[in-house]
Amino acid sequence: MKRLFAWGILFSLLAGLTVLPWLMLDSAPAIEPPPEFRRTDLIWVKSLFQKHDPRRQTPEVIHSIQLDEAELNRLLNYAVEFRRVSGIAAELTPGTATLTASLIVPPLCPSGCNPFGDYLNITAEFAEAPGGIRIVGLQLGSLPLPGILADGVARLAHRWLRRDETYATLADAFSQVTFDENQATLDYRWHPELLTQLERKSADLLIDPENQARMLAYAEQLDALLKPYPHGSTLPLVQAVAPLFAHAREIGDNAAEENRAALTVLAAYMSGISMSRLLEGKSQSIRRAPRVLLSLHGRRDFSEHFVISAAITVNGGSRLANAIGLIKEEEDAGKGSGFSFTDLAANRAGVRLGERAMGNSAPAIQQYLSVAHHDEDLLPDFRDLPEFMPQAEFDRRFGPIGGPRYQEVIDRIDARLDAHPLSQ
């Protein structure tokens, strides 16, 4: 009898392992992948975050973010670019919100096949609740789960996650979520210490311990390189780049990861971020003004555009880096120093460096940068290009963005970059 009972349990488990994937997985996504994000989408996301920049919020006062359904989906689809979700969409009705996401399932066999389906389609229905939201329904593919079970599991996970100080502070900052027809409102109370906590937690989640150790080592190396120079002095970028990449060559480890770490540390330093405070410090801020400034062809802005674009590329992709660079120039044309093809050229050069630093050319790029001596070794001299143009002047001479006259200058920039040793 015991043996029969054991065989029954085994048979039930095997049946479950066969039936559950068949019910949960689908051959097609419930939500189609969004179109590639456009420059206008990136501008909108940036303006949204600027509007709700926590550094501008009054502490301990309740603020609200309101998004209609189209804006919420626009923001969710922007997140798809980074989370590698196939598609995600929300539908808002009074008191409830339905969120559907399609996740790509990793292949189950070497040839890339998935006998049960390539997508896990998840549909969750949320309802307003005091102090937050609750799950009232959940479906995994064709398998419905009781809402009370899903909500219970979510609440247990919430209690477990509250052991983390950052998660607890973030959860306490959200006071209420309300859903109306075609609109969601999030009420929150900003705590001054939360921004630094989120920055540290994001770094901890996104950077594995091995790469954190790499970055801390390069940060120490950079500090040692710049320590002999007077505070506030300016140093050609190449005098920091060459020793850093010579150090990378000496390590002789994964060239692409060493390149990523070196470029990320350089960009963080130039952006006023202390890697030691970010990755292992307990101070109230991770910010630290650069003690020595770095320049390219005598210009700090060139070095910043070049290095930061390279760092964005090695961490987030060239499309994002190019889009961010172009947005910055458009903003400058409207209300800043003016549109500069020189800055845009430095951005594009940095993107190319980032692409090659992570590909098959990673060892060759490392070798080249380790023996660089002059500004021209890093970046062609683009100071002959038009710059500092207000919007009206740019429109008269080269506009619109993407038009023939604008594209002619971009083609000239790319031709110079094609001929540069970093692109060979």
DSSP state of 34: P
Distance CA 354, CA 309 (A): 8
Better-predicted residue by pLDDT, 85 or 323: 85
Region label for 338, one of left (φ > 0), alpha (ψ between -120 and 50) or beta (otherwise) = left
Res 224 pLDDT > 60 = yes
pLDDT band at 321 (very low <50, low <70, confident <90, very high): very low
Mean pLDDT, residues 404-411 taken together: 93
Distance CA 237, CA 369 (A): 11
Task: Convert the pLDDT of each residue in 244-303 to its tens digit.
Answer: 999 999 887 789 999 999 998 998 898 888 888 878 777 777 778 888 999 999 999 999
Distance in Å from the first CA to the final CA of the chain? 75
pLDDT score of 54: 63
Residue showing tokens 């900052």: 173
Q: Which of 45-59, 173-187, 227-241, 285-299 has the lowest mean pLDDT?
A: 45-59
